[in-house]
Structure 1
Amino acid sequence: MSEFLHWFDLLGVAVFAISGTLIAHSKHMDGFGVVVLATVTGIGGGTLRDVILDAPVFWLHDPSYFVAIFTAVAIAIVVLNHRRNIPTQWLQVADAIGLAFFAVMGVQKALGLGMPATTAVIMGVLTGCFGGVIRDVLAREIPLLLKGELYAITCIAGGVVYTQALTWQISPNIAAVAAMTTTLLLRLAAMRWHWVIHVFDYHEDNSLAKPTNKAKL
């Protein structure tokens, strides 16, 4: 990984760690809970990716990832202790930024290991989404991946932009920035205008909710 992409990777870890810290704060967790939630959010998706790809787990021999996590947690704690109410939008924006960074890092890692473009895009989705999934499961929340506005779709879009840009002989660094920007803007737009993909017609069936007055004999 180039130095440029490595710094982006660390920034993504830090941003996801902040989103984990915000969730821990909202759930009134103690210090250990904060660190655990921030850590799994920051490195969970990338760890799953490396295990599936049968590659060395990226953080095992690079302590800079934990430095990024602990620094992000410390900054977030200071800010949170000076505010009584934390806007929900903070979590969503922090999550969107981390999603954009990690989706592209996952694609880049898979391509570097010789995987085809389709597999690389899937690894980008895993890297971007599953740290947040683990975070939400531990916090007893429905994962953002499974509800609300476009989420995994934005990772797919960013991955396609990155792989196609490389096909067109565009510089990997420029391709990475373009893909991250695509993912971030698409996610923010989905949050702003509530873009969703409906496959069911969720009409309330009142007949199922009506109580029966018939007494059993």
Structure 2
Amino acid sequence: MNSTILYSALGWLDLFGIAVFAISGALVAARNRQTLVTFGFFALVTGVGGGTVRDLLIGAPVFWVQDARVPILCLGIALLVWLTPVKFWRPAAVDWFDAIGLAAYSVFGAAKAMQLGIDPVPAAIMGIITASVGGVIRDLISGEPSIIIRPELYVTAGALAASVFVLLVQTGVQGFVAALIAFTAGFALRALAIVKGLSLPAYRGAEEKE
């Protein structure tokens, strides 16, 4: 695999994932009737949080510090959501934008890690971190139940997208095709979780015998 070519081919996923996560962050601020400053903060934290942690872990320059387009994009989205009448946003909009960002960013995070020579399993984990940490920070700040402790599938969908991408690339599938398949798989699983309430079995512990 020529990792440099692969990473370049998947670059579109970066801004796409950032944008939809920024929208989800701004929508949480809207749902809580926050100020424009809070809109911008939520959009930025949600958009770049996971990628920031990923870059720190793999020793890469923190992407949004090196590229002014990223914070400008997040703040622009925050302003756009602020100006948009609330009737255009359905209550479930946060979940759906989050689902799109989750699938896209899982793939891109794994791709960036592989481009820097990270082994396949840690690379897939970097994809999961990229996709989920921003939402975790957003929920902690807003006081909402964290995405990682909700019963329906969330991190699992990100893990599926990242793992499928890494596996396909390792078997020689072209980068864009692998990304498209992995994105579709991750988004489909998360969509099913949103619509059908799919969840993994919860820990039941050592139940008392009757």
Name the TM-score, length of structure 2 as normaliser. Answer: 0.89
Match of 1:9 among 7, 14, 19: 14
Given that residues 106 and 130 in structure 2 are in contact (C-alpha distance below 8 angstroms), is that contact kept between their aligned partners in structure 1?
Answer: yes
Q: Which has the higher contact order (CA 8 A, sep 6+)?
A: 2
Partner of 1:43: 48
Partner letter of residue 30 of structure 1? T
Match of 2:27 among 22, 26, 38: 22
Partner of 2:121: 118
Match of 2:76 among 46, 71, 75: 71
Partner of 2:173: 170
Per-residue CA distance 1:13-65 (angstroms, 9 max, x = gap) = 11100000010011121111110111000000000111111211111121121
Given that residues 106 and 158 in structure 2 are in contact (C-alpha distance below 8 angstroms), is that contact kept between their aligned partners in structure 1?
Answer: yes
Partner of 1:55: 60
What is the deviation of 1:84? 4.9
Number of aligned residue pairs: give it. Answer: 200
* Corresponding position: 1:180 with 2:200: no
Residue segments in structure 1 that go unaligned for 5+ positions in a row = 203-217
Same amino acid, percent of matched pairs:
32
Given that residues 39 and 79 in structure 2 are in contact (C-alpha distance below 8 angstroms), is that contact kept between their aligned partners in structure 1?
Answer: no
Per-residue CA distance 1:90-142 (angstroms, 9 max, x = gap) = 11000001111111111011111111111011111100000000000000112
Partner letter of residue 16 of structure 1? F
Partner letter of residue 19 of structure 1? S
Match of 1:34 among 19, 34, 39: 39
Partner letter of residue 75 of structure 1? L
SS at match of 2:92: helix
Give the whole-Å Cα distance in 1 for the aligned partners of 2:50 and 2:40. 16
187-196 vs 127-136, which deviates more? 187-196
Task: Give the CA RMSD over aligned residues.
Answer: 1.7
Give the whole-Å Cα distance in 2 for the aligned partners of 1:88 and 1:4. 34
Partner letter of residue 181 of structure 2? A
Partner of 2:140: 137
What is the deviation of 1:86? 4.2
Give the whole-Å Cα distance in 1 for the aligned partners of 2:66 and 2:105. 19
Q: Please show how residues 78-89 of structure 1 align to structure 2 within 5 Å.
A: 78-79=83-84, 82-84=85-87, 86-89=89-92
Partner of 1:151: 154
Give the whole-Å Cα distance in 2 for the aligned partners of 1:72 and 1:30. 14
68-77 vs 156-165, which deviates more? 68-77
Give the whole-Å Cα distance in 2 for the aligned partners of 1:27 and 1:75. 17
Name the TM-score, length of structure 1 as normaliser. Answer: 0.86
